[in-house]
Structure 1
Amino acid sequence: MDHQTLSYSIPEEEDDGSAVSNDYSTTIGALILGLVFLLGVPGNLFIVWSILARIRRRSVTTLLILNLACADGFLMTLTIFFVVYLAMQTWVFGEVMCKGLFYLCNTNMYASIFLITLMSVHRLVAVVFPRKASSLASRKIVRRVIIGMWVLVTVISIPSLVFRDLSIQIDETNETRLVCAPNHTLPRHVRFQYAFETVAGFILPYTVIIVSYVLILRRLRQTKFRRKVRSEKLILAIVVMFGIFWLPYHVINMIQVAAEWYTEESPMREKLDHIANTSRAVTSALAFISSCANPVLYTFAGKSYIKQNGFAFMARLFEGTSSDQTGTKKSRGMGRDTAGTSNVDSTNSTGPVIALQNGK
């Protein structure tokens, strides 16, 4: 199907500097997404396999990790379409795929962020309310919360479905390209979509994560247990990595929102639009990295188990199910400190320590 045929049903407009019109930006973005695909897909599939095949009794934390790995893994499989899009600088998958892929992408990005937030809240409950943790954060309640979360993310991702369209753009050399990009008819649509995405997908969840970990670390420093330095480092790595890779994406969102407050002829609007359009491909690719970083973090956290447990080291990391386990709650809890994760469903006196050791 050629552009002449498509022009009857797809709007044609001048190229004003779209996200795929900058050679440098699209090349960097494609390389990043290609690496993300190669690392993220097998890494997250390995986590899913480790939990489903190796762990019989799954804790609350393991359920959250399983859902996170599924969301991240599915998101990583979508990157191959965006690699092709950036490499060819034209959309070749049709209008339905244009809307559908970006909708699924947004859904799984929201799911990843919200699951990380749920993990931090779950740890907070186990640390601050150790005696009530089993009732406040039981597996039954968490399953319902997870189902509710998946319903929520499918709803709040609808703007990416509504405001995403396929168009034909003509550049300065009269070459045409198909662009799958947001199509906002009014300035308030731009402000709504990007401001809502940043507030709901970054500011609110990241605030909850930071506050939760501050309260957790403050509580743990008041206890007599000191074998938690490695766990603290893992938690801080998760939080910092999440912020580093997502912040540029949402900064561009806010730049695009700010541009809409200026008139069409304003030089400032032209400058802000140029920054947003030339940076969107790279910042979006960086955001994808956060979804492939988790397997890397888990591998570093459980590297002491690799020689002893082989491919089962990930299951050992999540549940502490190795042959040298002593069988007592206290020894299991202290042993898991080395790994950085454990089952936080216990409500005994070591609850606060065990709770923190639930790596992401």
Structure 2
Amino acid sequence: MDSTTEADYPGDYNDVLKELEIHSVDLPAGHCRHAACVITVIFNVIIFLLGTIGNGAVIWIAGFKMKKSVNTTWYLSLALSDFIFCSTLPFIISRLVTDTWIFGLFMCKFTSFVTTLNMYSSIFILVIISVDRCITVKFPVWAQNQRTVKKASAVIVMAWFVSVLLSIPSAKFRDITKNSTTVICYGNYEHHHTTVVFLRFTFGFLIPLLAISTCYSILICKLKANQMSKSTKPYKIMTVLITTFFVCWLPFHIVSIIELEQKEHDPVFNTAVQVTAALATANSFINPFLYAFMAKDMKKKCYSFLSKIESAIDEETRSAFQRTSITNSVDNRVSTVV
């Protein structure tokens, strides 16, 4: 390893430390020995194990076991996003344990890219699901004729394409630097840090929040007025999924914005960044368990975890058909009277 000093870093050394992104903030001397680092490693290991197993189960059930539908397309894509991210966590865990980055520049850029891609793709899919629910309730007859798996797949592909484009800056401005003992994978934003942070906040949080809030306002008003759905369980599942996403990611965005004003290397603030980053990461393994615990058969202990996930996803499909059938029945009666 080449020998370098603090003067060899691109820009001021403290600026380099301050600009380190998610999972690459705290740089203690030596290996992972202090309590905060040990807890972070354990937390990431748990997320990796539960996230890969849970999301893998959803991918298997929604992708291979269940009949293809619009709803399974949504949840399959959401699980795939979380699974890809969780599969990169061993690289992060290794960095925390060894206190150095040993995987080279490409993986430094790739892990940052995947993290941002997971954020964008997850929230975009949640927006798509919210719009789909709104359209299904507001225009049930049209939805029955136009909601197809082929069109849903096209929408998902478009969402992933936009997510990839928005995630490119996370890879572009990622870099590694060396000293005599360690290699650091960090965000070398130069003069673009503010732009990247506000791009992330605007498209990864603010606009989706407004879109989802609008959809749910319309949805709630329509359901209360017509009482079209006998079961509110699908909406509870979606409400919890969306609430969980925002609870997990909002602190990260807030800290990222505050970080723009940080002039000095502050260990306390770095701890806050680590905590909010870990909370954001946790969102990737929570969704499969929400499917399981909010299914109708939650209290029946004899059912397996996989059955609960399938029940939760399948309930979405049944609910959509019930709403459409009710509306068609009403329309037919009105037509007969007229």
State the TM-score, normalizing by the size of structure 2.
Answer: 0.82
Which residue matches 2:331? Answer: none
Q: Given residue 81 of structure 1, which amino acid in structure 2 is its aligned partner? A: F
| Offset at residue 160 of structure 1 (A) | 0.5
Distance 2:146 2:258 in 1: 40
| Offset at residue 295 of structure 1 (A) | 0.8
SS at match of 2:177: strand
Change (3 A) 1:29 1:204: farther
Which residue matches 2:77? Answer: 67
Contact 2:229 2:323 in 1 (8 A): no
Distance 2:219 2:246 in 1: 19
1:183 aligned to which of 188, 197, 211: 188
Matched, 1:350 2:332: no
Contact 2:108 2:175 in 1 (8 A): yes
| Offset at residue 196 of structure 1 (A) | 0.3
Distance 1:123 1:309 in 2: 28
Which residue matches 1:280? Answer: 273
Which residue matches 2:164? Answer: 154
Q: Given residue 215 of structure 1, which amino acid in structure 2 is its aligned partner? A: I
| Offset at residue 293 of structure 1 (A) | 0.7
Q: Given residue 202 of structure 1, which amino acid in structure 2 is its aligned partner? A: F
Q: Given residue 21 of structure 1, which amino acid in structure 2 is its aligned partner? A: L
1:246 aligned to which of 240, 246, 249: 249
Which consecutive residues of structure 1, in runs of 5 or more, have no partner in the other structure? 170-174, 260-267, 320-335, 353-360
Q: Given residue 116 of structure 1, which amino acid in structure 2 is its aligned partner? A: L
| Offset at residue 103 of structure 1 (A) | 1.2
Distance 1:295 1:269 in 2: 40
Distance 1:343 1:235 in 2: 13
Change (3 A) 1:344 1:143: same
Q: Given residue 246 of structure 2, which amino acid in structure 1 is its aligned partner? A: G
Q: Given residue 205 of structure 1, which amino acid in structure 2 is its aligned partner? A: P
Q: Given residue 85 of structure 1, which amino acid in structure 2 is its aligned partner? A: R
Which residue matches 2:27? Answer: 21
Matched, 1:105 2:115: yes
Which residue matches 1:292? Answer: 285
Change (3 A) 1:138 1:77: same
Which consecutive residues of structure 2, in runs of 5 or more, have no partner in the other structure? 19-24, 29-33, 329-338
Matched, 1:51 2:62: yes
Distance 1:90 1:163 in 2: 19
What root-mean-square deviation, in Å, do the aligned CA atoms of Structure 1 and Structure 2 show? 3.1
SS at match of 1:167: strand
Contact 1:25 1:279 in 2 (8 A): no
Change (3 A) 1:109 1:71: same
Contact 1:54 1:312 in 2 (8 A): no
Matched, 1:209 2:212: yes
| Offset at residue 69 of structure 1 (A) | 0.8
Distance 1:88 1:133 in 2: 53
Distance 2:71 2:36 in 1: 38
Output one character per residue of 1:66-115: Cα deviation in whole Å (capped at 9) or x when no partner: 11111111111111211221232221111121112211222222111111
Matched, 1:302 2:292: no
